[in-house]
Amino acid sequence: MEDMKFQGILSLELSKVSKLEEFAKDLSKSISEKPITAGLDNELREDYIEHVIAHKPYKETRAQFKDWSSDALKKKIERITKMLNDTSVKPNPPNWKKGKQVNPDKALKLKRMRAELVAASYGTARSISRWSEDKIVETYKRLEQLRAKDPTVPQNPAYPPTATIPQQTKTSNKQPSASALSIAALKQVKRQK
């Protein structure tokens, strides 16, 4: 008699679980069909960053992930789970520049700042190219203040208003040139020797 009650309760609970699974599948499907808004994308990025920081196999900070897209963070999580599951894979840090989002307007602005700092003799192009973005911005602010006080300092050049860095497009349909093929053939012959 008690077995019948237990089986009845068990079947009732299992039906509740199956209903919850169906609801979760429907909800997941409806959410995946909606376009991702900026707020939702930022929330998703924060969740990904939380997960990466919680399961990091090596030293990482939140600041390292501030410019990463949600897709790059998702790939990072997949990489971490692979490292944790497979003990033969050595935990090594990623290429931090790989996941960063590149803003062409910001890159152009920094390039121009560097050029103006070199023209104002704040350092060589080589040394300034090694500076952090924050140092470039701070030094450029000091240059602007100096320009306001001293007219002998090189002034701002006139840049065209719509100039942006041209985006490089990768084309996989491109056939290698004859010279590239001959170089590849020569390398192959050298390897065989």
Contacts of 118 by beta carbon, 8 Å cutoff, 6+ apart: 124, 125, 128
Q: pLDDT tens per residue, the chain (193 residues)?
A: 677 888 888 888 888 888 888 888 887 777 666 666 667 777 878 888 888 778 777 777 777 777 777 788 888 888 878 877 777 777 666 665 665 666 778 888 888 899 989 988 888 889 988 888 889 999 999 989 998 888 888 888 877 775 544 555 544 445 444 445 455 565 666 666 5
CB of 76 closer than 8 Å to CB of 89: no
* Coil vs helix vs strand at 80: helix
Q: How many CA atoms within 13 Å lie on the side-chain side of 147?
A: 14
Report pTM: 0.37
- Residue 71 backbone dihedrals phi, psi, to 5 degrees: -65, -45
- Tell me which amino acid residue 70 is: S
